[in-house]
Amino acid sequence: MPDFLPLSPSAVPSNAAPRTWDLFCQVIDNFGDVGVCWRAASELVARGQTVRLWMDDASALQWMAPLPHPPGLTVHPWPASAADVPARVGEVVVEAFGCEIPAPFLQTLAAQAAADRPPVWINLEYLSAEDYVARCHRLPSRLMSGPASGLTRWFFYPGFTADTGGLIAEHDLAARQAAFAARGRSAWRAAHGLQDGDCAISLFCYEPPALPQLLAQLREQTASAQAGWQPQLLTTPGRATAAVAAARQADPRLESLDVHALDTSPQPQFDEMLWACDLNLVRGEDSLVRALWAGQPLVWHIYPQDDNAHHAKLDAFLDWLQAPAALRSFHHAWNGLAPADSLPRLTPGLLREWQACTLAARQKLHAQTDLIAQLLQFVAEKS
């Protein structure tokens, strides 16, 4: 199985002036928006900032980020009236994923801007490898109507190249990975019922069209008892576990496949799962980034859109990744861009090829400035 290779340490700027940030997160579904916003807020605090995280649904934090929260980070319900808004808006206001600032907060922001200095107002956008990201990154948008008319909002795009906003990487990520590597993956695997020789595959997905084909393939490989290749599937709670259950109900032969249903876990433990597995099938934005930092073979289940706009987005990512042919084919079948029966058959050699691809991509990312450092620098420039 592919070895786990931790990141190399890198320097993190620590000279950013302390400021108060108001970060707005409107939960759509699937926890990805919460995951990105919590990681961003936590890392801003770790680098000397104060963050008020405003959420319309903070329930996922009960397991994703249980108490106590880091000093300097507070979570607040979506402001419904002027009484819910602080006396002063922070020096930085961030709308995550284009969510709109609630009207009571916006009115306070506008009044403060008129009497004093406006905050640095940032629209933190979705992650993509498409060409438009570099063109639109850091562009201003002047508001022409409403209580904030005349103020400027800045577009900030995460991305995979040096001309974008980069990706979230905690200042201590390399140290955490190194500590995990020193302990070895055996302890994590043993705690989850796995043997060192097993091929551990994590599944965090929606409902992939080719999931039944993958499960049937893994069942056949388990039955053949191929030396050094005993697939063990670890399913995350929610849609992934439900999708596997539905596939097994439709095909009773799949009941013989070893499936380990995981519990919900805080983000650091989710990262450890990715480090411990030999193949990570991930979904959405936050887990894709974490799988890249893990350096293990990965497959991305991109969020499906009705107009199939996700097709171009997926191919742009695969182009940046320089995905080998089999990895590209697997992605296309997994995401419904190709027939499900075209799903490549997993082998140890294929996973080694895919890991080399992931590690090369991770090395490129590691040489770039991370998202939080870029945000801090941008705010310093605009303040």
Burial level of 245, CB count in 10 A (0-12/13-18/19+)?
middle
Q: What is the 3-state secondary structure (H, E, C) of 99-165?
A: CCCCHHHHHHHHHHHHHCCCCEEEEECCCCCCCHHHHHCCCEEECCCCCCCCCEEEEECCCCCCCCC
Alpha helices in the chain (DSSP H): 32-46, 61-64, 103-115, 132-136, 173-183, 185-191, 211-224, 239-250, 267-276, 286-294, 309-321, 325-334, 348-366, 371-382
Instruction: Specify the DSSP class assigned to residue 255.
Output: G
Cβ proximity of 144 and 125 under 8 Å = no
Cα–Cα nearest to 202, from 286, 253, 275, 292: 275
Return the bridge partners of 120, or none.
Answer: 92
Write the CA distances from 118 to 96, 97, 109, 149, 167, integer angstroms: 19, 21, 7, 12, 27
First to last CA, the chain: 50
> What is the identity of the amino acid at 365?
L
Cβ proximity of 117 and 45 under 8 Å = no
Instruction: Specify the DSSP class assigned to residue 227.
Output: T
> What is the identity of the amino acid at 141?
S
Cα–Cα nearest to 156, from 111, 126, 124, 129: 124
- Catalytically active residues are 33, 285
